[in-house]
Amino acid sequence: MCYAIPGKVLKIEGKTVTVDYFGEEKTAVNELHHLAVGDYIYAQGGFVIEQVPPDTAREVLEAWRDVFFHLREIDVRLSRLPVVERGVTPAVARLLDRAMEGRPLKREELLSLLSLPEGPDNDLLASAANFLRQKHQKNACCVHGILELSNICRRNCGYCGIAAGNGKLARYRMSREEILAAVEEAVTVHGFRALVLQGGEGAYPVSVLAAIIREIKERFAVLVFVSCGEIGRPGLEELYEAGARGLLLRFETSNPALYGSLHPGFSLESRLRDLRDAFEIGYLIITGGLIGLPGQSDGDILNDILLAGELHAEMYSFGPFLPHPATPLCAAPPPPSARIIKTLAVTRLTDPAHARILVTTGLETLDGDARRKALLAGANSVMLNVTPLAYRRLYSIYPGRAHGEEAIPDQIAGTIALLKALGRSPTDLGTG
C-alpha cells in the first residue's frame, strides 16, 4: 500500500530491468545485487525495492489476477468519453478531440481550458483527461504514505501554519526511535512500499536525516521520498547516498514576484536550483504549486503546470491555497475546488503519457468528494497520512485537514473502497 504486484524479470541490461506484469512489460532501475532473469521483484516509482520468493510471488499473482482484470474493465467503462451532449461548445469539443489524438495544444488553447466555467464544457474536459489517463497509464493508482517528522521550520512562508513566526503552535520533533517505529508500522503492518518523510526546513541536520534513512533502507523494503525544504546540492547528495530516491518539493508558484512576497528573504531561483540538482542526482521529482493564491492569474497557473513538466516531475502536486488564521493571508478566501480539479485535468492534457497526478490532502480538505472527482479528471495518485495521531494534530499547515483524526486502517479501507468502485488498482507498476 502502495500495494505492489510482483513482476517477473524478463531482461537485465546494466541497471535497467524489464519486468512482466500480467502481460505488460515495464522497466525499472535495479540497485539489488544478484538479481537474475526469472526472479520476481517488487518495484515502486520505477525502482526495484525487493526480491520476492517465487512461491510467494505466484501466490500473490494468483490472488490478484482475476481482481486486476475485473478492475480494469470497470476503469475502461468509466473512462469512455460520453456522447457530446447539448451545451458543449463546438470549439471546445474540437480542441479536446485534438488533445485526445495526441496533438499538443498551444498555450492560448490551454489557457482557454483553464478559464472554462462550470458546466458541460468543463465536464467534457474532465472526461477527456480521464480518457487520456486510462489510455496511457491504465488503471494503476499510486498510494503512498506520508510521515510528518516535525513541525519545526526555519522559514516564515506567508501561507503556512507551521511558519517560524507562529508562536502559538506547540512544536515537535520525532526521535529516531519514533520515526523507525512509525515506518515499521507503515511497512510491516499496513503494507506501504513508498513513504514520504516530511518535515519543516531545518528541523533536522542533514547528517541526522541521512543516518535515519540509511537505517530505514537497511531494515525495510520501501521507496523513500524526502520533503524537508531546501537543503542544497551537498545535502541532496548525502540523502541520496543514504538511500532516498525521491524528493517532494513544491515551488508553490512560478511567478518570481509572487514567490518573493510569500517567502520573505528567499528566491524562486534557489528553490528551482534544488529541484534541478535533485533530478541530475537521480531523484524522482514530486513538485507543483498552490492554486488560488491572492493575485494569481490563470496564466500563472498554466506557467506552474508547464514549469513542473520542465522540472521532470514524476508526480505533479497541485493543491489549494487554504488560509491559516496565524498567517498574514488569514483573511484571503480559498479557491473553489473546481478550479483545482480543472488544473489537474489540464495538467493531464500537457503530459498525458507520463504524469502521475496527486490528489492532495488540501484538495480533500476543501471538498469532501474531491478525491473521487479528481480521479475522474485525470489524477492517479493519493497519499495517506501515517503520522502518529498525537503529532499529526500538530502538523497544522492549514486548519481542519482531511483525515487528521483518521486511523491508518480506516484511511486504507476508505481508499481501497473508492479505488475499487472506480476500477483502479492500488499499485505502482513502475515506468513504461
Domain ranges of the chain: 7-74, 137-422
Separation in Å, CA 109 to CA 43, 118, 155, 200: 37, 17, 37, 38
* Separation CA 289–CA 166 (nearest Å): 22
Count of beta carbons in the 10 Å neighbourhood of residue 234: 10
* HEC secondary structure over the chain: CCCCCCEEEEEEECCEEEEEECCEEEEEECCCCCCCCCCEEEEECCEEEEEECHHHHHHHHHHHHHHHHHHHHHHHHHCCCCCCCCCCCHHHHHHHHHHHCCCCCCHHHHHHHHCCCCCHHHHHHHHHHHHHHHHHHCCECEEEEEEEEECCCCCCCCCCCCCCCCCCCCCCECCHHHHHHHHHHHHHHCCCCEEEEEECCCCCCHHHHHHHHHHHHHHCCCEEEEECCCCHHHHHHHHHHHCCCEEECCCECCCHHHHHHHCCCCCHHHHHHHHHHHHHHCCEEEECEEECCCCCCHHHHHHHHHHHHHCCEEEECCEECCCCCCCCCCCCCCCCHHHHHHHHHHHHHHCCCCCEEEECHHHHHHCCCHHHHHHCCCCCEEEEECCCHHHHCCCCCCCCCCCCCCCHHHHHHHHHHHHHHHCCECCCCCEC
Q: Determine the pLDDT at residue 429.
A: 44
- CA 409 to chain centroid, in Å, comes to 20
Which residues of the chain fall short of a pLDDT of 70?
A: 1-3, 83-85, 428-432
The reply to whether 137-422 shares the fold of 7-74 is no
Phi, psi for 286 (deg, rounded to 5)? -115, 120
Which residues, at least 6 apart from 308, have a Cβ–Cβ distance to it below 8 Å?
A: 251, 287, 288, 289, 316, 347
For residue range 151-186, list pLDDT tens digits in order.
999 999 999 999 999 999 999 999 999 999 999 999
* Separation CA 238–CA 253 (nearest Å): 27
Decide: 109 and 128 in contact? Cβ < 8 Å. Answer: no
CATH topology of domain 137-422: TIM Barrel (3.20.20)
Q: Determine the pLDDT at residue 83.
A: 63
Q: Determine the pLDDT at residue 4.
A: 74
Q: Which three cell numbers stand for residue 373?
A: 472527482
CATH topology of domain 7-74: SH3 type barrels. (2.30.30)
